[in-house]
Amino acid sequence: MEDRASAELAALATRNGIEPDEEIAGRLIQLLAMAAPPRAFYVRLLSQTHDRFANVEAFFRGVVDPVVKSAGFERIEMGTDKTEHPFINVGIFESLHFASLAIVDLTGGRPNCLVELGYALGRPIRVILTAEEGTQVPFDTDAVPCHFWKPALPDVGRQEEFRIFWKKNIDRPPLVGRG
């Protein structure tokens, strides 16, 4: 990794202005991509008193986390990960605003998850929609491809199913322009 970073850094040399600006900019973007992984923001049921919480928690820890990590993303999960914000809503929308991807699970039908989904769909980011099998997704979200996961399936099988869904849908363009 260090050798690659050194090579990328050396490639930023403008050679006294001879190198085209577009090439230098592209090389800089490659170097920055190496330094900071893209972020996947999790929108999900967080209330531990909700009857679906244990299933959602098991899905995210046993399935989503490994798939996200293997795809090169860093997760952001409010209420679980460390935050620097005194008010969780500020942290949610700021983190979601700068994320490259939102993974939105609609299990439990929580209104706050729908608000965050709406915000994600209005941003120029990718959105992966999930829900526990049997979840009725509301109104227009039924037109968005959704991965319906099965709580009884072992994690290895659920990971494979989620990876297949991910590969089919991760490169869909956002609903709104690319930024």
Contact of 67 with 166, CB cutoff 8 Å: yes
Phi, psi angle pair for 44, to nearest 5°: -165, 165
Q: In the CATH scheme, what architecture does the domain 37-169 have?
A: 3-Layer(aba) Sandwich (3.40)
Mean pLDDT by 10 residues, the chain (179 residues): 60 70 77 78 95 97 97 88 69 89 95 93 94 88 87 97 97 77
Tokens 């942290």 identify what position?
91
- Per-residue buried b or exposed e for 21-44, using 16+ beta carbons within 10 Å of the residue's own CB: eeebeebeeebeeeeeeebbbbbb
- Rounded to two decimals, the pTM is 0.78
| Cα dihedral: 148, 152, 155, 160 (round 10) | -40
CATH 3.40.50.10140 domain range(s) in the chain: 37-169
Tokens for 59, please give them: 């899905």
